[in-house]
Amino acid sequence: MKTIYPKLILEALEKVRYPGSGKNLVEAGMVEDNIRIDGRRVSFSLIFEKENDPFIKSVVKAAESAILTFVGEDIDIKGNISLKYKKQAPQPKAEEQSLKGVKNIIAVSSGKGGVGKSTVSANLAVALARAGYRVGLLDADIFGPSIPKMFGIEDARPVLENVDGRDLIVPIEKYGVKILSIGFFVDPSQAVLWRGGMASNALKQLINEGYWGELDYFLIDLPPGTSDIHLTLIQSLRLTGAIVITTPQQVALAAARKGVDMFQNEKVDVPILGIVENMAWFTPAELPDHRYYLFGRDGGKALALETGCRLLAQVPIVQRVCQSGDEGTPSALNDGTMLGLIFADLASTVASLCEAEN
């Protein structure tokens, strides 16, 4: 059995980089000189600048993994890394918390999961960017972040940049869209076991401490359903409007009605820009003139009439849209295709409606 000594621990920690600076933990001076070894039990402290550092959890997990990998799989390290902070970060002033440089904030919502909300969010963001607008996209689906996959940036790790004395998280930019997702900071293979308050605070941090800059449109891909996360975001941001995604299926329409009601509730009172009916029909590539209504017909159109909302678009099922999402190339990038044209029209309609709201 290999003897453990501090130098081995430090060498393992040199394999871990702090996302905020790109330096390894030892080089960045984040490992306190107090490595304690008791048999196979190892403990030490990591030093962060402030308590609300967004990279704490991912760095601690990476440090544990490095020691188990490079020192020994039998090392008792889990839960033995303590945290220290150089300073307590001052709370941002109320006026600093608002997205001052953002013209329009749009929530993209769905009553239930599996209706393609994130697919629509990603393609709308790309279509707006291709139309010449400055666009940001926040993946607020805490428990199932999929935007990184759809943009092919699962391995991206945002860094911190000091802006006017504040450490801000620099979004990852792809296809002209600035993107932040909780998926950048959690292990994609593990479930996110957070209570509502923790999830809401994490999203607030990505919003208030993201270096978004000047944007024409800031899209928020909300979690499915209606919850305290939705209320927190709605109450803390000045939303231009909301878009509700549904499929023609009756169970999806029933859930979408609740989503519409949430935004129309007098305590919330967020304008609904309209409804997008996703998976409206299926057209096989070999029969481009045929439409097969797999989940019912015109359910989204009927819901729009029932609730007094606009029907913004009907998006068909096309095999390529799934492939594009898996490959990280949203369908809106393809100008000459049916889906490319649909999302371009959706972006144009949304832009016109937002101008009318302002």
**DSSP-H helix ranges across 15-146:** 56-70, 94-97, 117-130
The pLDDT value given to residue 93: 41
Tokens of residue 172, six digits: 């990852």
Q: How far apart are CA 268 and CA 261, in angstroms?
A: 10
The pLDDT value given to residue 206: 86
The pLDDT value given to residue 196: 56
Distance of CA 108 to the CA centre of its chain: 12
Contacts of 265 (CB under 8 A, 6+ apart): none
Instruction: Output the CA angle 293-299-304, nearest 5 degrees.
Output: 145
CATH class of the region 95-357: alpha beta
Identical fold at 6-85 and 95-357? no
The pLDDT value given to residue 192: 58
Which run of H or of E encompasses 324? helix 319-327
Every domain of the chain and the residues it spans:
6-85, 95-357
Q: How far apart are CA 316 and CA 34, in angstroms?
A: 60
Task: Concatenate the DSSP letters of all residues of 134-190 into one string.
Answer: -EEEEE--TTS--HHHHTT-TT----EEEETTEEEEPPEEETTEEEEEGGGTS-TTS
Which whole-number Å values give the CA distances from 291 to 281, 313, 316, 317, in the listed order? 6, 16, 9, 10
The pLDDT value given to residue 284: 82
Q: What's the CATH architecture for 6-85?
A: 2-Layer Sandwich (3.30)
The pLDDT value given to residue 62: 92
Distance of CA 297 to the CA centre of its chain: 31
Q: What is the largest CA-CA distance in the chain?
A: 73
Q: How far apart are CA 244 and CA 272, in angstroms?
A: 8
Tens of pLDDT along the chain (358 residues) come to 678 889 999 999 999 988 767 789 999 899 998 899 998 999 999 998 877 676 788 899 999 999 999 999 999 999 999 999 885 544 444 333 458 899 999 999 998 888 999 999 999 999 999 999 999 999 988 777 889 999 999 988 899 998 888 889 999 999 999 999 988 877 666 655 555 567 677 788 888 889 999 999 999 999 887 666 777 777 778 889 999 999 999 999 998 998 888 888 776 778 899 999 999 999 887 787 888 999 899 999 999 999 889 999 999 987 666 666 668 889 999 888 889 999 999 999 999 999 876 6
Q: How far apart are CA 68 and CA 268, in angstroms?
A: 49
Contact indicator for 206, 180 with CB cutoff of 8 Å: yes
Task: Concatenate the DSSP letters of all residues of 194-261 into one string.
Answer: --HHHHHHHHHHHHHTB---SEEEEEEEPPSS--HHHHHHHHHS--SEEEEEE-SSHHHHHHHHHHHH
